[in-house]
Structure 1
Amino acid sequence: MADEGGAYWTLATAQKLVMDSTDLDELPSDLSDKLEVTEYDTPTADSASTMMRTSASVGEKPRTTGGMRNYMLLLSEQKKHWKWYIVLILSAIGGGASQPISAYLFATEITLFQSWGPWLPGLAGFWSLMFVMLAILVAISYFALGWSSSTIAFHIIYRYRCEYFENIVSQSIGFFDADDHSVGALTARLATDPSQLQELLGTNMAFVLISILNVVGCLIISFYFGWKLTIVTLSSSMPLIVAASFFRIRYEARFEKMNNEVFAESAKFATESITAFRTVSALTLEDTILKRYETLLCEHVKNSFGKSSWVTLLFAVADSIALLCMAFVLWYGGSLMLKGEYLPFQYMIVYIAVLQGGLGAGQWLSYGPNVAKASVAADRILEMRANGQETGTPPPLDRGSMEDGDSGVKVEFRNVRFKYPTRDVPVLNGLDLTIEKNQFAAIVGPSGCGKTTVVSALERFYSADSGQILYNGTDISAVSLEDYRRDISLVSQEPNLFDGTIRENILLGVNTDTTTEEQVQQACRDAEIHEFIMSLPDGYNTEIGSRGVTLSGGQKQRFAIARALIRNPRLLLLDEATSNLDGDTERAVQAVFERTRKNRTIIMVAHRLATIQNADIIFVLGDGRVLEKGNHATLLKMRGIYYQMCHAQALDR
């Protein structure tokens, strides 16, 4: 400090608080009582979103109809593909008719050999030719079936994957609070659910339809040629087939749901580990991470082994039920032939038809697991759609007067109360504060006093339990959310950048067609990052990597400030926006905020009081309410909480 003008002296004086001449040690004796503010484990910036409540309760799941109604709803949405569905149905009819027709042809062919004569070779050749024609029909049917179902599947995957992703990113912040809505779980669902849905509405639906037509066709031909044997068979064996089908699909649905829950947990853990790969490497946690992941998978195997045994038993029963039907038909049909009630042709065609019908039913059951998975996927897709639905169309934001010098906004909190849904601890207890147009307002206080909550409430990430938040006299919950957020910008303590170029990241959220290169560069100059960008080989076209991995924390923060300034917001929210900047850069950026504060309202949350000592008004929060308010000089004269906070951060004591 004795070396005035040196590097350290410059950094220290940039963070210097302006204090009055009063002895800093002479503090009121009762001040320590005022400072006993309840501290909560309130996360800052992005992590705060995992703790708060939206207008809908966190974890509350919308009601979905489920079952056949969901399937019919999704099927009705495929009207524009009706031509392909017609081809699919016709080809399925062709494939489904093959089994009953082959049963008739085979029975006829076999009974021919009971006779003898010169006409036998001709008849045998004719019916053999019918088999050839049937084979051609089946080949054409399955070719058309594969072509149409594949086309439908591609359209379904494209449409519902786009819709699924849109519904995910359109959710309120509180949606992601639930444990089963982690990034890893949602990413896994986005990859698998639309693919499973296409099986329900495309390929597997066609094969299920073929199996049903096989069973129906075989039953019809059996009743026509031998109703007595058919009725006895249906009344004794078919109930076993239906029961096996019901319980198999039921257990498959439960098993699939359990698998999704377990794999969601492991996917969440894997995503977090890969995202934080630098921390994992720095702490040499590779072996620990692998063991934890292995433990999760082993627990899944252990928990699911018992249920999978029952499902395997149902598989065995369902696939062997056709042989049981065959044995019964052989015995009872033989008895009817001995009594002379059935001719060999009747017995043979009923036997083959029932056998083919049993095989068709077994094939139908084999699609049970796929149908169960697809049904669960359909429920999740519709659930996500229900979560993202809005009731009515909110009116646009009334921006009021936009004349020069009056482009800011007035913000009011009126008796706002809020608490976390996971804990019965209040964060805001009847908060009342007013920020006038074009004011530079600062919010300070101990950790957990509700500073970040105020910013999140203004961004409409969450809704208050009671009270009102007014934006130019209008309740923010009564206007269009998209229109409202166009009017404000947020710079958080931990800004997020996307994989791409510097220019692409700065232009996020603005109209790239109307934003000029000069505006981009001016925003970067204001954020004190332009010179750094121009020093790079590709300038503004430099790739920054995933999540801005090639940048330092301070550089990321300056990019976020430039991204906020280029939007020219009427309300600028700064949540520890300069915490990663050095003193000189912070002072330069702060000068930009002060120069532009006449054209907008600025609300800054800060722990470092040197950054807000020039604010028009400072609110000191504690216990969820305003304890002190005024400018820097006024609060120092009060010798209260703000006075002690300044004393604690003074560098020259």
Structure 2
Amino acid sequence: MEVNFKYNFRGYFRFYYSILGNKIYLFLLLNVLVGLLDGIGLALIVPLFSSLFGAGNEGLLNTGKMHYIANLLSGAGIPLTITNTIFVVILVFSIKGLLRFLQMRYSSRIRFLFIRELRVQLLYLLNNLSYTGFLKLNAGKIQNALTTEISGLYYTLTAYLSTLQCVGILITYFTLACITNLQFAIIVLVFGATSNLLYRKLFSKTQKISANVSKESDTFISYLIQSITHYRYLKATNYFKRYFGKLKKVIEEIEQLNFRMGFFSALSEGIKEPVAIVMITLVLGLQFYLFPGSDKNAILVCLLLFYRSLAQLGQLQTSWQFFAQNTGSIRSVTGLIRDVQQSKEPAPKDLSELSEVGEIRLSEVSVAYTGRAILEAINLNIPRHRTVAFVGESGSGKTTLAHVIIGLIAPTTGSVSIGSRPIGAISLDAYRDKIGYIAQDPVVFSDTIFNNVTFFDDPTPENQQRFQKAVQQASLDGFIDSLPEKEHTQVGDNGIYISGGQKQRLSIARELYKNVEVLVLDEATSALDSATENIVQKSLELLHGHCTIIIIAHRLATIKMADTIFLIRNKTVAAQGSFDALKESSEDFRQMIAAQRF
């Protein structure tokens, strides 16, 4: 997909062509053929009427240089009679109608293919976006681009294709007018080009306003997402009224821009007909003043072509005005694509299958954000199927360390090895297929328990059996059996219909169903009461020795069963060992135990 282009007519064509390919040329060809047949039909009608109300067949089809059509018919063995000409006119407009049908049908297909391809490409790019790259992006911009701006892009394509259609027909009309009467056609062209300068100024202003509308829409969506995410807090503290003021201000700015854009659109539409009438008057007056002996039939054909051209020109201006109103969508979406492309994950050097996750080893790993050190010189080994824990003060880098291990963040310096290979030499997709992740705020989808655990797998007998095993291991089976609809129970948006402990066990069951080899629990039990925490703890004990478990915790009671505990202090590993060993050897660890009184 081409996104590095200039924002002009040719640049937009490059963008659309990069998605649609040669289909856009076929669309243009159909437009030219429609215009050509329409022009030929008009050229046939004028001399036909002259013959019907004049002196019979004399001069029929000899208007200007339209004798080429007469020569063509004569060569095909068709006598130049009024009757035959009428049938030719009917045939020409019938073929034109068929081509018009094909052109409009093909236009609809092009728009369908465009939107489908664009959305697929965007999702593909997001799938390949690195986690650090995602953190740099504005959530409002992503959501706005994938919803509102995609629709705006659809409108730009519709308007752009309509503009191309008008351009193609106008070129055809002008060519036919030149064949009929060159002087008249040139006069029309000069006046048409002069009037276009006025519209270009209006279009330029509209495009700038459209770009500002898209920027403000990104901001509005970002604020809106935050208001929905934090609604409970905003409502409980009555801060929503103040936050509402922030949203209202952005809405007013967006609508003020839309009002200005509507003004220029109305101005463009309002001056269209007066300009057209002035042009017709001036063109006819100039033609008969400069060339008084002109062929009136030829002038009449040109005038009909000119009249049809004005209709197409009006449609072109309307289409291009509508296109200009939505060009901000092109800037927004292509800007997002450029940002995502710059932050995509590196391609693995070795795509061989990752059969299992062996020992995980970190050597001299350091991580820094915007020049600020988060971790420094981390050295640790995590043997396969062992349980380890990271403890330390808030902000010590425990979660960042876990993110480095599972490949979400690349170390600034140092190396990470999975088994015998560096993490950069394996497929991260294959590695993450073997990883389960449970955070303090569990991820629960607005769907059934079964779909949450199986992640939307089909309810085959094999998957049903895996589901039952996973919920038993997560101590969730008793709760499910107590529900009237069992595993088909809806849990609501973000699991609003179930408790915190049930959501956490649901998350654990999902990772067990996945049959992970590495399970990361990032403060997974910190928000649970003691009874629920004990249930989750028993679930983890059942997994001990069956997969590699990485626990990040403040509450030390949850990590007593860990094989190795790493104490993170001053951005590095200050001490490591079993719970009892650290209790004996580390003063910092003893202080943590004393502070929690257990």
Contact in 1 for aligned 2:475/2:535 (Cα 8 Å): yes
- 2:133 maps to 1:186: no
Residue in 1 aligned with 2:5? 65
Counterpart in the other structure of 1:361: 313
Q: Which residue of 1 aligns with 2:36?
A: 97
**Equivalent position to 1:441, from 388, 403, 422:** 388
Question: What is the aligned partner in structure 2 of residue 548 from structure 1?
Answer: 495
Q: Cα deviations across residues 310-354 of structure 1 (Å, max 9, x unaligned)?
A: 66656666675434432321221121244x3x2333433334433
Counterpart mapping for 1:231-310 below 5 A? 231-234=186-189, 236-244=190-198, 246-284=200-238, 287-288=241-242, 290-302=244-256
Partner of 2:178: 223
Q: 1:367 to 1:449 in 2, by over 3 A?
A: same
Aligned to 1:325: 279
Name the residue aligned to 1:148. 106
Partner of 2:562: 615
Note the residue ranges of structure 2 that are not aligned, 5 or more in a row: 60-79
Return the match for 1:173 from 131, 147, 150: 131
Deviation at 1:606, TM superposition (A): 0.3
Q: For the Cα contact (< 8 Å) 2:51–2:58, is it kept in 1? A: no
Q: Is the 8 A contact 1:193 1:381 kept in 2?
A: yes
Matches of 2:315 and 2:563, distance apart in 1: 76
CA distance in structure 2 between the aligned counterparts of 1:161 and 1:640, rounded to whole angstroms:
56
TM-score (norm 1): 0.76
Counterpart contact for 1:111–1:344, Cα < 8 Å: no
Alpha-carbon distance in structure 1 between the residues aligned to 2:597 and 2:14: 69
- 1:218 Cα deviation after fit: 2.5
Which residue of 364, 370, 388 corresponds with 1:415? Answer: 364
- Could you say which residue in structure 2 is the equivalent of 1:471? 418
SS in structure 1 opposite 2:300? helix
Q: 1:562 aligns with which of 503, 509, 513?
A: 509
The 3-state SS of whatever aligns with 1:100 is: helix
2:160 touches 2:320 (CA, 8 Å); kept in 1? Answer: no
Code of the aligned partner of 2:443: N
2:440–2:524 contact (8 Å) kept in structure 1: yes
Aligned pair count reads 572
SS in 2 for 1:580: coil
Q: CA deviation at 1:303?
A: 5.0
Q: Deviations over 1:44-79 (max 9, x none)?
A: xxxxxxxxxxxxxxxxxx962355466446446547
Query: 1:381–1:178: structure 2 CA closer, same or farther, 3 Å change rule?
Result: same
Indicate how the Cα distance of structure 1 residues 522 and 221 shifts in structure 2: closer, same or farther if over 3 A, else same: closer
Alignment-derived partner of residue 642 in structure 1 = 589
- TM-score scaled by structure 2? 0.82
1:343 maps to amino acid? D
Percentage of pairs with the same residue: 23
Q: Which has the higher contact order (CA 8 A, sep 6+)?
A: 1
Structure 2 match to 1:497 = 444
Quote how far apart the aligned CAs of 1:482 are.
Answer: 0.9
RMSD: 3.9
**Amino acid paired to 2:297:** F
Offset, 1:263? 1.6
Following superposition, the deviation at residue 643 of structure 1 comes to 1.5
Distance 1:117 1:396, change over 3 A: closer
* 1:570-589 mapped onto 2 (5 Å cutoff): 570-589=517-536
Equivalent residue, structure 1, for 2:77: none
Q: CA deviation at 1:535?
A: 0.8
How far has the Cα of 1:117 moved from its partner? 8.9
Amino acid across the alignment from 1:600: C
Are residues 614 and 175 of structure 1, via their aligned partners in 2, closer, same or farther at CA, if it must alter by over 3 Å? same
- Alignment check: 8 A CA contact 2:211 2:329 kept: no
Instruction: Note the C-alpha offset of 1:281.
Output: 4.4
Residue by residue over 1:119-145, the C-alpha shift from the partner in whole angstroms, topping out at 9 and shown as x without a partner, is 99x999998887766665554443333
Consecutive unaligned residues of structure 1, counting only runs of 5 or more, are: 1-61, 403-407
CA displacement, residues 586-634 of structure 1 (integer Å, 9 cap, x when unaligned): 2343244334332322211001111113322222212321223222223
CA distance in 1, matches of 2:321, 2:376: 52
2:401 is aligned with 1:454 = yes
Q: Is the 8 A contact 1:621 1:627 kept in 2?
A: yes
> What secondary structure sits across from 1:521 in the alignment?
helix
CA deviation after TM superposition for structure 1 residue 548, in Å: 1.4
Question: Residue in 1 aligned with 2:122?
Answer: 164
More displaced 10-residue stretch of structure 1: 69-78 or 264-273:
69-78
